[in-house]
Structure 1
């Protein structure tokens, strides 16, 4: 593949370059992957409305999220264990979102801590938070994110129990929380 011309080609490149177990972790979902397929179907229904004979010499894609002005209506969602895919992992994501003028949400299951991500330089960053039974752990995570300059908490409430990820079962992959709960 000489150059990437659309988003789906990134998946092809990832499959070629990543070990099967790691690719399967990123590319698959839980149970019968029903939600994953529904998400793809929903995105495929989003269409751009063409404008004809309209002046497009000055296009402004800026918007705001929670009062933070960003360059485009695109943010980076929390993605666990990014260093499995590349040694720079969350560091590269933090630098890229900052350069693009948008928001990164750091996963609670990241391979870099809030302090490490903050050390990459300026940027608008949110922190994804799972609520653990031990509320002291939760409070410490929130305080660390706040001290590191993270601007919001993205509360994840749909994971009191992890879904049954069939590709991970077949690959005998075990996701360990490496940064924040230890």
Structure 2
């Protein structure tokens, strides 16, 4: 995975053989702690969603950070989390698929980052884990709607880069218009 300074990426990975990577509420919390510790110094988190067997991040790499530092931060995040789950579950072997994927947002249309933002937040609806994205506790969507006061995302930067509306109702409508809950398809 090669991440260039100043660029935005959709980063995702799933459990090896599509197996669970989060077994409990505490696992989700611990992974978010690891993101804060290892990734925030290297990149701005614009959106995130943790699912039982995979995760999605929309990030902007900080200008002063090297690609090597970003790669190292991801390796430490995933390997340290894997070790904790191996110990917890008394298991061995890979927790995640070999390669974490990073889709450069420059590869799509001008609105591709916004579509990705909405797609990430609609993921739990698509997987039938919740009826509405704001009810899924393991994503940044509730923060953007003002329902929760999370601090992981740089909402100011996301609003600027993605031209997000400030009003919660407008954002909810935009998300549903761009990625309708009843017509979600594999976009990325």
TM-score using structure 1 length? 0.29
TM-score using structure 2 length? 0.28
* Larger of the two Rg values belongs to structure: 1
RCO comparison, higher one (Cα < 8 Å, 6+) = 2
Higher percent of residues as helix: 2
